[in-house]
Amino acid sequence: MKQGAVMPKQPFSKRNIWATILLLMLSSTLVFAYTEPPVNLISARANPATIAEEFISASKVAVFSKTTCPYCKKAKGLLNSYNATYSVLELNLRADGPLIQEYLANKTGQHTVPNIFIRGAHVGGCDALFQLDKEGKLKDLLASSAANPSTAAKQPPTHPAEQTVETILAHSKIVVFGRSGCLACLKAKKLLDSYQVAYTVVNIDLRDEEDGSEILSYLELRTGRRSVPNVFVRGESVGGNEDIHDMDRAGSLAALLE
């Protein structure tokens, strides 16, 4: 009889073990969810549309890719065979990759990678790139400085740097033109961070196109300022690091950035 009273405890304590295991699994999932990169935070700071559009406009050949995708490798191999310079954005290596992919799907109707743009015009995936090659069009497209066939009707830009700057400004409310090692640029970005606003950084020394000095010349022409940072809000230069700190002290920066 005594044993009978003890017996029911066995399955109960087993259930306890399972409950503990379940709890542990749940809590480890929670920890995972908590430590994962804050996707929404990043996308709020620089939204996927801005990132994608800036990448497309700043790269002669823009390849949205994933390091794990064989067709991406194949497409890059074809570009390599032409010694083409191209820029790659690996979506699986960034927290906002899925959002950028969603933006591209919205923009181009293509959900897959690689998603390739040449001179701002959508080409498509790996098959489309190989098709262009088969038709003998890819080589010229990569070599020529003319616009892509789909935009050929438009006047090719006389000043590529001007085109680049204006495209970036058209797509981002706040833009900081700077250099990667520049202390004043760092301070300006820190101040913007303190306002928790999204902004686009264009480091003129890190550009694939090596058009940094042309960009500086165009910025000088447009704003009278050759030094960096050169901070733009809604397409207009608001000055450098000192200027935005002055505005901060005067209390006028918040309204400007709104």
Ligand X SMILES: *[C@@H]1O[C@H](CO)[C@@H](O)[C@H](O)[C@H]1NC(C)=O
Q: With respect to ligand X, which residue has the nearer C-beta, 83 or 155?
A: 83
Q: Is residue 10 part of the contact set for ligand X (CB under 6 A)?
A: no
CB 82 within 8 A of CB 139: yes
- Our measurement of the distance from residue 60's CA atom to the centroid of its chain's CA atoms, rounded to an integer in Å, reads 16
Q: Is beta strand 121-124 parallel, antiparallel or unpaired with respect to 200-203?
A: unpaired
Stretch that binds ligand X, among 6-14, 23-31, 62-70, 96-104 (CB under 6 A): 96-104
Q: How many positions of this chain bind ligand X (CB under 6 A)? A: 8
Question: Helix-strand-coil percent breakdown of the chain, rounded to 5?
Answer: 60, 15, 30
Please state, in angstroms and rounded to a whole number, the distance separating the CA atoms of residues 129 and 225.
41
Q: Is residue 195 part of the contact set for ligand X (CB under 6 A)?
A: no
Q: Is residue 40 part of the contact set for ligand X (CB under 6 A)?
A: no
Please state, in angstroms and rounded to a whole number, the distance separating the CA atoms of residues 42 and 93.
14
Near ligand X by CB under 6 A: residue from 83, 145, 155, 158: 83
Q: How far is the CB of 83 from ligand X (least distance, A)?
A: 4
Q: Is residue 82 part of the contact set for ligand X (CB under 6 A)?
A: yes
Residue found by looking up tokens 């306890």 in the block: 16
Q: How far is the CB of 134 from ligand X (least distance, A)?
A: 16
Near ligand X by CB under 6 A: residue from 64, 103, 199, 218: 103
Q: Is residue 86 part of the contact set for ligand X (CB under 6 A)?
A: no
Q: Is beta strand 87-90 parallel, antiparallel or unpaired with respect to 115-118?
A: unpaired
Q: How far is the CB of 79 from ligand X (least distance, A)?
A: 11
CB 56 within 8 A of CB 68: no
In the complex, the residues that contact ligand X under the rule CB under 6 A are 48-49, 82-83, 99, 102-103, 106
